[in-house]
Every structure is written in structure tokens, then in C-alpha cells.
């Protein structure tokens, strides 16, 4: 029994065939028609039909970046995809012969890590996805916690700093303004344009076009550059502060860290872990979680979406 | 089928008979042997045997203030009850003929409100209990969220203010240092000893013994005293800020506010609600929760504990 997983992002749509063991094959990526929401369902249906042509498929799971309603048939709002009250699942289901399910992309990725990746031995986890923003997802006792209206797990929007940095959500001081890949790159660029010795290597790497890229910062980290590593520790410190509050609420066994920056592995997860410990309420009087990097990379969203659609069809 | 509910607090133990509809009778309260943990099991067993003598009882549910392990047989730690790794359930079960269950007191109270009180029409809720500290509990899709190690829902310990007021948990700036009944009384005493006109009525009420009591502050609120009401709005403002972060994580349909201060009713829940709205990430792009006062008062803990023990015996 195979399922199709689809991951709709702001720049591309990824589709693939997913086995019951979470193995992916035939992954295909196409540009996301983000500016034309009406084209989105069409593009997704075409990807599904192409995969169905040569494969026996039982269910389809779709992950999308956005607020999904509690019935999970509608995207209430998506900042990157220009949707308001878009009945995406209904539109796609009308044109597809097998059951279709819709899930928030961060939830889908966390589900994949929970079933097949870094958290497969845990019952309760949170996931932080460090990318353009800070995405989040929650699993408790083996169940995704989606919240009463479907918008739970927006862990990047707990407040870290009162009257802090302006956030795209309309508030100030949200965790994602301090702990995202965007915030990290901004800090690296600032260090690179400073005069101090800590920015030397970053300055060199940026010299060709003048503006530091994410790949160049990754290179500095890989090389063990002191300046880049200090920024990574600062990033981890912010994320650990947020994690400590999240643990007060959810007390998970494990925190899985995904997204682009998580390829730094322990260079990121260790600073998060130690900051979490330093900020943990009632430290010493309670069990402590582990912090680990995600394993499934960019395919996590489509793997999780496919697995959720399969699980639901078996209910 | 009736169950016994027991609520173990720092100053007293309450016991009562609870019907399947959540009706309580034969409530009895005895002083809590908080300083002698060994006496606690004995006292509780005596209360159970007394109630069993004249009633047919099928299960016993015990609520206790403390961290309870995920197997729910042991109290890992209780700041008020001097327990560390106390196998309370096992001790009591050995002397009682019907199934015994153990639950955190805030979880038990929330469960009672969810089944029989202010949240009985909801599927997903959080509860904030405004007392000595700020207690919390979470229900999502009809299930208590206890966390991977059993210590979820400690909503009073999310961080509200970085480098803020020292908290008993070892951290600084926890919500309960700003939103608890203790913090509220402290603010009222400060206002009463100030020279300003806003503290006039509080000064008068405190005049007999010089130090303002909780009951006197309640009286000022009932009278509509401007000074006391402004402190209540400030309390609500802090709690609403915390609630906005909690909503980013859990997105519940309803927030139930319990504890001593909640007898102020809408005078407290409205300031919490408006502060929550002002601090809500992505406000305007998502459904909004309601904030209501608890209905079941001091018996909520024992009602919830009894109902949980009944539900578990039916599984």
C-alpha cells in the first residue's frame, strides 16, 4: 500500500511516493504558483495524476504552509501563499479518486520524524523548524496536537522579549524574530560588516558579492570559524529560552530541531540543550528532555503528509 | 456508581462522594499533615474508609499538588508537601479495596470544569488557576495533556519577563510572579500603603490591623473601588499576555480561569480577554477563544479526580 505525499511551499511543490515504512521514491519538484492560488489545486492534481499513472496508490496526503481549520479541509490563512479561506482539500478531492487529507506542513514534518526519524522511539515530542521563520509542531501520547481551531503548535510565536523585535504576525518579540534562519543570517551579515576580528572569516567568504549567503555561513560553520559558531550559540541560546517555556506547557520527552540551520547538527542542538537547561523551571526536580537534529531533511513534509493520509484511511 | 474524590492541598485535605453526573455530597475536610509526609497516606486512607462505610463506592481518585510521574503512581516532587519520589498511589492502593488513581490537582480541577463546569461544551481548553501561584492544565480533543514525563500544563512557569521577578522554581520572570493571587495581594498592599488617592479605600479597609487581607481586597472589588479594579485589570493584562503565548502553542477554544481571584468573574476575565486579543499573534487571521470563570469552585479538584478514576476503570 503506497501513498502520495505532497508538500506545498512558497517557492516549490514537492511530490513523491511513500511506502508504509516511510521510504520515498519518485520525488518530483515543480515551481509553486504561489502568486496564483487558483492554479495551485490544478498543479497539485496534475502531480497526483502523474504519480497514479504508473503506481497503485491508496491515499494522498497534502502538507501546506498555513493555518488549516479544525475540519482540515480549508486553509484559513497562509502568509506565503496568498490564501484566505481556501477550500484546498475539497478542490483537490473532487478530482482525485482516492482519499485526500490536508495537514499543516510543520505538523506533517514532525509526524514523519515521529514515525520514521529522530523521534521514532518517543511518545511525546515537539519540533522546532528553523527556516525563514520558526515553525513548530506538537505530538503528545502519539497524537498530533492541532488545537481547538486547528492552529496549535505555532511555537515560533511565543513571546521571548517583551516590546522586542517586530514580527510579521503583528506582535513584537516572538521567538522567530530571534531564533529563525532569517535572524541568524541577519546576525551573520552584521558580524561580517563589523570591524572586529570575529567577523574576519565571514567577511572573506562574503567578499565575492559583498553580501553573505546562507551557504557561505554554513561553510564558515563547517570550517569551525569562531565568529560563526558564536552566532550559532547565540541562536541556540534564544531557542533554548523559548524551549524552556514550551516545556513548562508541554513537557515533551524530546525536541527535534529541523530546517536548514539544523544541518549544523550538535553545533546547534547542544547550545539549545544547555540554554533550555539553564532556563528550565524547577530544574533538578523533573526529568529532562533531549534535543536532537531532524533526520529526514526536506522530504519530511511529504513523508508525514502521506503517512497521515494512510493512518486516517485505516481508522 | 459513585466514586470518592480526594484533594490533597498544603493546608487541608478534602474528601467527598461524587456521582457520575459530577454531583458532590458528604464533603469532609481535615487538616493536611503537610509537614509529615508519612502521615499523609494514613490520613487519606482513613477518609476513604469512612466514606466507604456508608456508601457503595467503585473507584477512588486522588488529586495532589505536585509533579506526578507519567505512570501516575508517584509524586516526583511537591513544593508544599515535602515529597520527593513519594509512591503515594501505591501506598494508598495497598489499603483500599477499589481501584485508586492519582492526578495532579490542577489537571483534576480542569477535568471537572471540562466535564461538568464552564467548559462542558468545548473539546479543547486550558485552565489557569489564580491562587498562591498560577496553576495550569490542558485538555485537547477531550484528552488531558500530561506531557511525556507527566509534568505538562505548568502554565504559570512560562516566562513573561526576561530577567524579571525571582520565582520559586529557580527562574526569573515566570507568569505566576505577575499573575498569581499572591502577586495581586502584594500589589494591593503596596497601593494601600502609598499616599495616592487610588489607594484610599484599600487603606480604609486595611486600617483595623494595618495589613490588607485577601478578603478585604475582595470587598473593595465588590464595592467597585477604582484602585482595586485597576489592579485587577493589571493582573488580567499580565495573564492575557501569557495566555497569548499559550494560545500560540495550544490554540484552545476556551480558557477557564479558576482559583480564589476568579470569584471577581467578568471583572477579571474581561481584562484577560482583551489583553489576550492585544497580544495574539496573527490576530484577525484566526478564530478567537473565550475566557470564562470557573464554575465549580473549591470542589473542582475532588470532582475531577473522582471522575478520572471512574473513566479509567471503564477503559
Please say whether the structural domain A2-112+298-314 has been given the CATH code 3.30.420.40: yes
User: Which residue intervals of chain A bear CATH 3.30.420.40?
Assistant: 2-112+298-314, 121-294
pLDDT of amino acid A210: 73
| DSSP single-letter state for residue A183 | H
> Are B248 and A158 in contact (CB < 8 Å)?
yes
A63: its cell numbers: 502538507
The answer on pLDDT for B208 being more than 80 is no
Q: What is the pLDDT of residue B11?
A: 87
- Position B197 confidence tier, pLDDT thresholds 50, 70, 90: very high
B124: left (phi over 0), alpha (psi -120 to 50) or beta: beta
- Confidence check: pLDDT of A169 > 80: yes
Of the candidates B281, B159, B162, B240, the residue with the CA atom closest to the CA atom of residue A166: B281
In chain B, CATH 3.30.420.40 covers 2-112+299-313, 121-294
Residue B213 contacts residue B219 (beta carbons within 8 Å) = no
Closest residue in B to A285 (Cα) is: B77
Mean pLDDT across A142-149: 97
Going by the DSSP 8-state scheme, the letter that residue A100 receives in this structure is E
The pLDDT of B210-218, averaged and rounded, is 90
pLDDT tens-digit map of B234-244: 999 999 999 99
Q: Sheet harboring B57-64: ordered strands across?
A: B24-31, B12-18, B2-8, B57-64, B100-104
The minimum CA-CA distance between B173 and chain A, rounded to whole Å, is 11
Partner-chain residue, chosen from A149, A281, A287, that has the shortest CB–CB distance to B171: A281
pLDDT value, residue B205? 93
Residue of B nearest to A253 (CA): B148
Query: pLDDT by residue (tens digit) across A220-259?
Result: 999 999 999 999 999 999 999 999 999 999 999 999 999 9
CA A244 to chain CA mean position, Å: 19
Protein fold of B2-112+299-313: Nucleotidyltransferase; domain 5 (3.30.420)
- A:B CB pairs within 8 Å: 167
Q: Which of A106, A281, A290, A291 to mutate to test the interface with B (most CBs of B within 10 A)?
A: A281
Kindly indicate the confidence band of residue B43, based on its pLDDT and cuts at 50, 70 and 90: very high
Q: Is a pLDDT exceeding 80 seen at residue B222?
A: yes
Instruction: Answer for the pair A221, A232: CB distance below 8 angstroms, yes or no.
Output: yes
Q: Of A167, A174, A249, which has the smallest distance from its Cβ to B246's Cβ?
A: A249
Confidence band (pLDDT; 50, 70, 90) for A16?
very high
At A236, list the grid cell.
541556540
What mean pLDDT do residues B192-221 have?
A: 90
Contacts 24+ apart (CB under 8 A), A225-228: A225/A201, A226/A198, A226/A201, A227/A191, A227/A198, A227/A199, A227/A200, A227/A201, A227/A202, A228/A188, A228/A201, A228/A202
* Residue A106 burial class via C-beta count within 10 angstroms: exposed 0-12, middle 13-18, buried 19 and up: buried
Quote ipTM for the complex: 0.95
**Per-residue pLDDT tens digits for A20-66:** 999 999 999 999 988 887 899 999 999 999 999 999 999 999 999 99
- Mean of the pLDDT values across residues B157-173? 96
Alpha-carbon gap: A123 to the closest alpha carbon of chain B (Å): 7
- Average pLDDT, stretch B245-274? 96
Q: Which residue intervals of A209-299 are DSSP H helices?
A: 214-223, 226-250, 266-279
Nearest CB neighbour to B282, from listed A123, A143, A170: A170
Q: Is A230 exposed, middle or buried (0-12, 13-18, 19+ CB in 10 A)?
A: middle
Instruction: Say whether pLDDT at B258 is over 80.
Output: yes
**Which strand (E) or helix (H) includes residue B176?**
helix B176-179
Contacts A77 to B, Cβ<8 Å:
282, 285-286
pLDDT (0 to 100) of residue A11: 87
Q: How confident is residue A80, by pLDDT bands cut at 50, 70 and 90?
A: confident
Instruction: Give me the CATH code for the A121-294 domain, please.
Output: 3.30.420.40
Chain A residues inside the 8 Å CB shell of B125: 148
Question: Are B310 and B1 spatial neighbours (Cβ–Cβ below 8 Å)?
Answer: yes
CB contact under 8 A, A251 and B170: no
How far off is chain B from A273, nearest CA to CA, in Å? Answer: 16
Across chain A, mean pLDDT equals 95
- Could A281 and B152 be called an inter-chain contact, meaning their C-beta atoms sit closer than 8 Å? no
3-state per-residue secondary structure call for A74-99? CEEEECCCCEEEECHHHHHHCCCCCC
Q: Nearest C-alpha of chain B: how many angstroms from A68?
A: 10
Amino acid at each position: 500500500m503506497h501513498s502520495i505525499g505532497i508538500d506545498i511551499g512558497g517557492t516549490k511543490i514537492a511530490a513523491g511516493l511513500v511506502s508504509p515504512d516511510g521510504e520515498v521514491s519518485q520525488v518530483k519538484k515543480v515551481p509553486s504558483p504561489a502568486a496564483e492560488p487558483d492554479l495551485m489545486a490544478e498543479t497539485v492534481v496534475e502531480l497526483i495524476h502523474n504519480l497514479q499513472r504508473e503506481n497503485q496508490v491508496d491515499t494522498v496526503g497534502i502538507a501546506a504552509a498555513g493555518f488549516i481549520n479544525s475540519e482540515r479541509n480549508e486553509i484559513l490563512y497562509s502568509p506565503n501563499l496568498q490564501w484566505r479561506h481556501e477550500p484546498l482539500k475539497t478542490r483537490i478531492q473532487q478530482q482525485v479518486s482516492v482519499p485526500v487529507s490536508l495537514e499543516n506542513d510543520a505538523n506533517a514534518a514532525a509526524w514523519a520524524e515521529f514515525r520514521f526519524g529522530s523521534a521514532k522511539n518517543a511518545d511525546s515530542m515537539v519540533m522546532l523548524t528553523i527556516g525563514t521563520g520558526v515553525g513548530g509542531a506538537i505530538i503528545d501520547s502519539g497524537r498530533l496536537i492541532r488545537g481547538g481551531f486547528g492552529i496549535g503548535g505555532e511555537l515560533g510565536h511565543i513571546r521571548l522579549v517583551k516590546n522586542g523585535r517586530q514580527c510579521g504576525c503583528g506582535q513584537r518579540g516572538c521567538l522567530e524574530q530571534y531564533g529563525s534562519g532569517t535572524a541568524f543570517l541577519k546576525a551573520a551579515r552584521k558580524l561580517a560588516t563589523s570591524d572586529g576580528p570575529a567577523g574576519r572569516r565571514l567577511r572573506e567568504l562574503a567578499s565575492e558579492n559583498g553580501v553573505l549567503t546562507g551557504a557561505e555561513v554554513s561553510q564558515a560553520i563547517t570550517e569551525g570559524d569562531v565568529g560563526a559558531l558564536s552566532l550559532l550559540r547565540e541562536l541556540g541560546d534564544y531557542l533554548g529560552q523559548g524551549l524552556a517555556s514550551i516545556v513548562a506547557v508541554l513537557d515533551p520527552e524530546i525536541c527535534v530541531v529541523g530546517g536548514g540551520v539544523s544541518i549544523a547538527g550538535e553545533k546547534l542542538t547542544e547550545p539549545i540543550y544547555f540554554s533550555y537547561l539553564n532556563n528550565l523551571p524547577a530544574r533538578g526536580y523533573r526529568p529532562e528532555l533531549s534535543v536532537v537534529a531532524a533526520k529526514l531533511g526536506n522530504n519530511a513534509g511529504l513523508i508525514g503528509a502521506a503517512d497521515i493520509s494512510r493512518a486516517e484511511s485505516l481508522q
